[in-house]
Amino acid sequence: MPEAEATTGAIAETGRTSRLATLLQVARARPRFALGYVIVLAAVLAGALAPLVAPYSPVEANPAEFLQPPSAQHWLGTDAVGMDIFSRVIYAPRIDLAIAVAGTLLSAVVGCLIGAWVGYHSRGGGLRGWLAYLVMRAADVMQAFPVFVFAIALVASLGQSVQTVVLAIAFVNIPIYLRLMRSQVMTIREMRYVEASLVAGLSDARTIARHVMPNAMGPALAQLSVNVGWSILLTAGLSFVGAGVRSPTPEWGSMIASGFQNVVTGEWWPSVFPGLALAVTVFGFSLIGSSVELFADPVKMRRLTRDLAARRRERAA
């Protein structure tokens, strides 16, 4: 017994490699992950620093200079009403990222809370089990609807505004988090430490908050980044069909929409540049998503660090 006590202190000190060092190693071995973080950081910085960087106002039309091709004056050209495309492209993350992040976070919070409750009561009978069943069928109905039609219907019924788009994004994403959380919780609910907490007399809500939620959050967190990417796409898509943010607010989707008639007549820049910005940003978020997936998977992570160490030894030899 005494020797067992002596070891516990030692165990605590060892076995912790520097997290930053591992992160840098992984970034060097998998440069595309680093690229993802660079892209997203660039998009965030562009939005944040837009007022300092943008050469023109993003919303002021200058009819004298409409549909100018890219030049030294207008780096990415101007659109049909004479607004500077570069200025608008770098202002756009303010709207696109904000809507996507707000919508995703809202759906994650609501989805996870409902999912945790549903998962906790799914196997139980009675009123709670029945209610959990009902929630799942409602989620089925929501998911069976085409995402886009659902979002447009919501915008149509609630009116066109940034808040409505956020709400639409939150709504269509809730079932994803609900299902993720439910399946996790159904596993964790059976864990002995959850039962021990209940036997000790803690309430259901307290047990969920203390034990179930923290242990079930992993997959939902990994989903977040990928989901922000999708949400940007959905935001732009809604604006493209005219159900999202209204012109002249700088937003990639509406810029693509307002420029696409001009593409036919040869003025490609009003659509292509915001389109590129959109594509690259979504790509960046999905790269981050796959890196999170790697970090969250201890087996893959161990394999990777082992390979890296092996490669280092080879090079040294």
Binding site for another protein (CB under 8 A): 1, 4-5, 8-9, 11-12, 191-193, 195-202, 204, 206, 210-211, 214-215
CA-CA distance, 305 to 283, in Å (whole number)?
25
Instruction: Using the minimum distance from each CB to another protein, give the nearer residue, 8 or 157.
Output: 8
| Min CB(203)–another protein separation in Å | 8
Instruction: Using the minimum distance from each CB to another protein, give the nearer residue, 140 or 190.
Output: 190
H-state helical runs in 122-161: 126-144, 147-158
Q: Could you write out the three-class secondary structure of 239-307?
A: HHCCCCCCCCCCCHHHHHHHHHHHHHCCCCHHHHHHHHHHHHHHHHHHHHHHHHHHHHCHHHHHHHHHH
- Is residue 255 within 8 A of residue 262, CB to CB? The reply is no
Exposure string (b/e) for 119-136, b if CB count within 10 Å is 16 or more? Answer: bbbbeeeeeeeeebeebb
Instruction: Using the minimum distance from each CB to another protein, give the nearer residue, 24 or 205.
Output: 205
| Min CB(296)–another protein separation in Å | 14
Instruction: Using the minimum distance from each CB to another protein, give the nearer residue, 30 or 128.
Output: 128
| Min CB(209)–another protein separation in Å | 11
| Min CB(262)–another protein separation in Å | 55
191 — alpha (psi -120 to 50), left (phi > 0) or beta? beta
Rg of the Cα atoms in the chain: 25
Instruction: Using the minimum distance from each CB to another protein, give the nearer residue, 14 or 18.
Output: 14
| Min CB(187)–another protein separation in Å | 12
| Min CB(121)–another protein separation in Å | 12
Q: Which of 241, 118, 249, 135 is nearest to 184 (CA)?
A: 118
Tokens representing 47 are: 């939005």
| Min CB(4)–another protein separation in Å | 6
Q: Which of 3, 38, 30 is nearest to 280 (CA)?
A: 38
3-state secondary structure of 84: strand
Instruction: Using the minimum distance from each CB to another protein, give the nearer residue, 192 or 313.
Output: 192
* Number of other CB atoms surrounding residue 36 within 10 Å: 23
Instruction: Using the minimum distance from each CB to another protein, give the nearer residue, 106 or 202.
Output: 202
| Min CB(50)–another protein separation in Å | 40
Per the listing, tokens 């770098």 go with 90
